[in-house]
Structure 1
Amino acid sequence: MNSAYIESMIKPMSADQIIATLTKLQASGINMTAFDMPAILSVLNITQVQGLLASNSTVVNGLLQSLKPAQLYTIVGNFQNLTSTALITGAKTQDAALIQTTESVIALLMKKINSVFLDSQLYGLFSLMSNGAAPGTGSKKMLALATKLINGFLGGVVPASSVSVPERITKMIAYSQQSIFGDYPTTKDVAPSAIFTAIFFLFAIAHAGIWIKNRSLGHKFNISLGLCFYSLVRALGFLLRIVWAKHTFELNVALVSTIFIVIPTSFLPSLNLILAQRYFTWKHPSYGSHKLFQTVMYIIYFLVFAFILMTIVAAAVQTNYFLSAKHYLMTKQVIEASATLVVLYSAAATALVLFAEFVPKTSQDEHIKTFQPKWIKSFSYNYWVPKNAATEAANAVPEELRDATRIINSTNYHYTTINEEQEEVTEKSSVLSHNSSIFIVAFTTLALFIADVFRCVSTYIHQTKAAQSWIFEPVVMYVMFGVLETLINLVYIFGRIDLRFYKPDSFKASATVAAPVSQDSEVASSEASQEVKEAASA
């Protein structure tokens, strides 16, 4: 007995007769899996196929489960030809019964996919369809293939919207994806994402308000504008997460949401490092103003930006293209390297502050000319600088002192002056020290470091969504990127970093934006000249 004999035997039979015959053959000890099942099933007509699929016979289900992925791939192709031909014929001949029967066959097949076929068969089928791509890659293409697979049964006659991709297949595609920090959102993510969307939009408004208010006073602190941009990106990341939760397979939304969640992990440490750099320059103006130091800092900023860009590209490639195991590993390594660099980067601010504390002062620090914003009299949360004080002070600086190093303000110097005695602080004067500034940098750096360590660790854990560890749970991401960054922003706002870490604009820039000075202003500037000279010679 061979496959051709079985084909000729069952071809004229009804579905019930075919099932009875197959049952007898199996009972007699014949192994049906040894035959060419795709060839045997290909001789059946649409009515016979309908009867077999409608049956819940253990023989039929057993035969379906015994199919190898390659056999299943062939049978799917045969069934697509069968159903599409029947639908096209029914449409041409206006045979409503044939169309109804074919639609029933398609529905029954979808039911079998949901309940009978094994996971290994379906994974093997999609592996063949993707030319053996690594699991978890090309999710966008995989979903398109699943849709194309279903539409292949319809022959262009039945609207594609009338038959959806079986839920089991969509879940398989989802569960085969590599785990990501924060997990793939569900409806449970809508509430926390909405809360943090609102919080970070409020932070964006607050930072923008501080920047606008300062600009109106001639006080330019563009880090506030950077924090506004960061807050908007973070808010949009959470907002898109809500959209993604409601539309799981809107993969373009998913990709953008993931990118917007990742970008702030490097952007915020960059702003924090700028604050630390300004503190270091205040502590060691000779080192901080040195071209070599500034060049190194610019290189660090550029490298982090480049790695983050590579991370975005790697994530996009994983989503949009089928990758071999080798190339998939390469994209994973890029993401791992980027996450590791961000961890080191987030700790750099505190390292720079510690470096400033432990590096001994030099004679150059004692003799270098510095220019501080001495018109800032307080770091209080409700203090605002006098209007145009920065411009007037810059205009009052003599030409011979305009090469002074611009540093942040403080009434406590960490070096001696060479020309003038240090201004004494009276009981009525505000003491502006940077102990709180050190706390701000240390606290925010620690919070960022913790969050980035968690995300970094997650990139080294290669798991799928179906068997992921607790570190991928959404609550972990909400604590790290939501709660901790909320605290960071509150510290930035109420700690008034726009005053503590304000560095005067370059004299050239100040002169460019300066309005013509009135006689009254000239008198005021003349009176302030001595104070400015003293600050510039510090």
Structure 2
Amino acid sequence: MTIDYGGDDPYTGGTGFLKLLFHVYDNPDSGTGIYVLVARCKNLLGDRLPPILIHNAIGKQVNLFGRYPLPSDYAPSILFATLFSIIAVLHLVVFFINFSRGHYFFLNLVWSIIAVVRLISFVLRAAWTLDITKVKVAIAGEVLIVMPAILLISTNLILAQRLFTWRHPVGGSRKLFWIVMMSLYALVGILIAVAALGSAIPFLYFLSTKRLLLYINLNKWISVMVIVYTLTAVALIGLSLWLPTTKDEKLYTYQPWWIESFSPFYFVKKGAAQEAEESFMKRNSNHRHAIRVIAATHHHYKMVKGLSNERGDLKHNVSLMMIIISTILLLLSSLLRSIVVFQ
């Protein structure tokens, strides 16, 4: 029997049974407490609940991003879980190869963790499709869907910050700028914690309509904050497109000159970063206090090994286009999620 979990049926025995349970719990909002509801129904009716009762109960729940799963969602969930497992392994392999060579790019590790969280969320969704009454699995999957999106925006914000500092080293090295950026990164933990609570509590407990509206508005606030958070990366990228100021042009920066290629199959020479650090610290104070920026310019100055006041141009920068495109895609996904939350 195929069940559509999208709406309500005419008044049936299942409807009356649910109304009785709600009355026992002091008539909470019918869109809350599915965890308690399923537990009590199984206590009274056994582990195999009637499909019409499941349909009636699920149809009253709050809207979910990506809807409630159907049996037909099992294969796509397994497919995406497999794809994210491959992505996680690839990022992890690249990280450990670089780490063994003394090149520490921790964003690869973060991207691997994000892919693992995505993998777990799709595995949980696949398990949920087999039994819609697995509420614990559903809640865990719903929370894990939110986390990677916020973390991925944070990685793009880090890349956008490094890009901004390369083009505008004066502003990018100021203490106030760093305080603002650190505050934004700290905001990630708050958003994830609030998002987890806002998503889980209405499913775990029976709530009054007034209290449910509070959590619905909380989820709306989170969706808006995620959009604003994404726009900070967009703003930094936009500011990077502006030509450097005179002060920026006069300030010396240095790049990791030991990175000789951006090819996906290129890895730095083992110990090159440590050798460069040791040689750099032997220079005069002007060189030693130069601001570290990303290896993003086509200018090469062999005499000072990466030290220059040239900001370069942007037309050749493939990495910039990757940051822009991925940030735009993240912004679109945040907007779409916000639309679902506001429905």
Q: TM-score range by the shorter chain?
A: 0.7 to 0.9
Q: Shift of residue 120 of structure 1?
A: 5.6
Deviation (angstroms), 1:384: 1.6
Shift in Å, 1:344: 2.3
Matches of residues 278-427 of structure 1 in structure 2 within 5 Å? 278-358=162-242, 360-397=243-280, 398=282, 400=285, 401-412=287-298
Contact 1:140 1:321 in 2 (8 A): yes
Alpha-carbon distance, 1:189 to partner:
0.7
Which residue is equivalent to 2:21? 126
Tell which has more relative contact order, 1 or 2 (C-alpha 8 A, sep 6+). Answer: 2
Give yes or no for the alignment of 1:456 onto 2:338. Answer: yes
Provide the rounded CA distance (Å) in 2 between the counterparts of 1:231 and 1:449.
19
Residues 279 and 176 of structure 1: CA distance in aligned 2, closer, same or farther (over 3 Å) = same
Q: Which amino acid aligns with 1:407?
A: V
Tell me if structure 2 keeps the 8 A contact 1:308–1:338.
no
Deviation at 1:435, TM superposition (A): 2.3
- Root mean square deviation of aligned Cα: 2.6
Using the alignment, how far apart are the partners of 2:150 and 2:233 within structure 1?
Answer: 13
How far the C-alpha of 1:319 sits from its partner, in A, is: 1.2
Is 1:183 equivalent to 2:78 in the alignment? no
* Contact 2:36–2:206 (CA under 8 A) maintained in structure 1: yes
For the residues of structure 2 that align with 1:347 and 1:192, how far apart are their CA atoms? 31
Decide whether the 8 Å contact of 1:412 with 1:433 is kept in 2: no
CA displacement, residues 42-66 of structure 1 (integer Å, 9 cap, x when unaligned):
xxxxxxxxxxxxxxxxxxxxxxxxx
Partner Cα separation in structure 1 for residue 309 and residue 239 of structure 2: 27
- The answer to whether the 8 A contact 1:412-1:432 is kept is no
Rounded to whole Å, the distance in 2 between the matches of 1:199 and 1:319 is 29
Give the match for residue 255 of structure 1.
139
- Is 2:21 the partner of 1:135? no
TM-score using structure 1 length: 0.57
List aligned pairs for 1:487-502, cutoff 5 A: none
Equivalent residues, number: 325
Distance of aligned partners of 1:422 and 1:347 in 2 relative to their CA distance in 1, 3 Å threshold: closer
- Unaligned residue ranges in structure 1 (runs of 5+): 1-113, 151-159, 425-430, 462-538
- Name the counterpart of 2:329: 447
What's the TM-score once normalised by structure 2's chain length?
A: 0.87
Shift in CA distance, 423/265, structure 1 to aligned 2, threshold 3 Å: closer
Report the residue type matching 1:299 in the other structure. Answer: S
Secondary structure of the 1:311 match is: helix
Over alpha carbons, which structure has the higher Rg? Answer: 1
Matched residues in 1 for 2:96 and 2:337: separation? 34
Aligned partner letter, 2:235:
A
- Structure 2: distance between partners of 1:434 and 1:187: 48
Are 2:151 and 2:188, in contact at CA under 8 Å, matched by a contact in 1?
A: no
Q: Select 2:83's aligned residue among 199, 202, 226.
A: 199
d(CA) in 2 for partners of 1:303, 1:451 = 19
Distance of 2:96 and 2:125 partners within structure 1: 30
Dislocated runs of 4+, deviation >4 Å: 420-424, 431-434
Corresponding position of 2:52: 168
Shift of 1:129: 2.3
Displacement after TM superposition at 1:252 (Å): 0.9
SS at structure 1 position matched to 2:29: coil
The verdict on how the C-alpha distance between 1:284 and 1:422 changes in structure 2, with shifts beyond 3 A counting, is closer
**Sequence identity, in percent?**
32
Q: CA deviation at 1:393?
A: 0.5
Distance 1:387 1:336, change over 3 A: same
Q: Which residue of 2 aligns with 1:231?
A: 115
C-alpha deviation, 1:198, in angstroms: 0.5
My pick for the range that moved more, 137-146 or 347-356, is 347-356
Cα drift, residue 354 of structure 1: 0.9
What is the distance in 1 between the residues matched to 2:170 and 2:142?
A: 42
- 1:268 paired to 2:268: no
- Cα 1:452–1:116, aligned 2, differ >3 Å: closer, same or farther? closer
Classify the secondary structure of the residue corresponding to 2:241. helix
Cα 1:422–1:266 change in 2 (3 A) is closer
User: Are the equivalent residues in 1 in contact too, given 2:33–2:204 (CA < 8 A)?
Assistant: yes
